[in-house]
Amino acid sequence: MGTEPVPAEAEFEFRVEVPEPPALEATEEDLALGAALYTTHCASCHGDGAVSDSEFSDLRYSPTPVHRSWNAIVVEGIYATGGMPAFKATLSTKDAEAIRAFVVHQARLAYETCNAIDRDAEPARHQSLCTRVLPGD
């Protein structure tokens, strides 16, 4: 009584919701190119359709600073030491921008779907479609 064992490590889970994606103008051609390039070069780690629940980022959740640094991350490879390869040899800046357009498109679909879900009525669906555990330590 009064001496409930305390878990050695409290299990906190920080979940973030799919953010409002950045504004982006893209043609159908850009989107088609971006989708194809994404499937070939990115899906193996970041998931089909830019949907990921693995240890690799779900890019639909990437915040604005990541979008601003997209070319540096994807083409130049500034995160290469963290396992995010540089695509300098295979993708141009224009290719990377088409992939970004596809990712933003996927993010927008998710954002719209999530705004339409009644999270009180469907908490499990909302959690799985609209939230991710925040990566960190």
Nearest residue to 31 via CA among 107, 108, 98: 98
DSSP string across 68-131: HTHHIIIII-TTGGGT----TTT--HHHHHHHHHHHHHHHHHHHHHHHHS-TTT-HHHHHHHHE
Among 12, 82, 118, 136, binds ligand HEC (CB under 6 A): 82
Question: By CB neighbour count within 10 A (0-12 exposed, 13-18 middle, 19+ buried), where does 50 fall?
Answer: buried
Tell me which amino acid residue 128 is: S
Cβ atoms 76, 69 nearer than 8 A: no
**Residue 16 or residue 114: which is nearer to ligand HEC going by CB?**
16
Q: By CB under 6 A, which span of 6-14, 26-34, 68-76, 117-125 interacts with ligand HEC?
A: 68-76
Smallest gap, in angstroms, from Cβ of residue 8 to ligand HEC?
Answer: 27
Per rule CB under 6 A, is residue 136 in the interface with ligand HEC? Answer: no
Q: Which residue has the CB atom at the shortest distance from ligand HEC?
A: 42
Per rule CB under 6 A, is residue 35 in the interface with ligand HEC? Answer: no
**Residue 68 or residue 128: which is nearer to ligand HEC going by CB?**
68
Interface contacts to ligand HEC, rule CB under 6 A: 41-42, 44-46, 56-57, 59, 62, 66, 70, 73-74, 79, 82-85, 87, 99
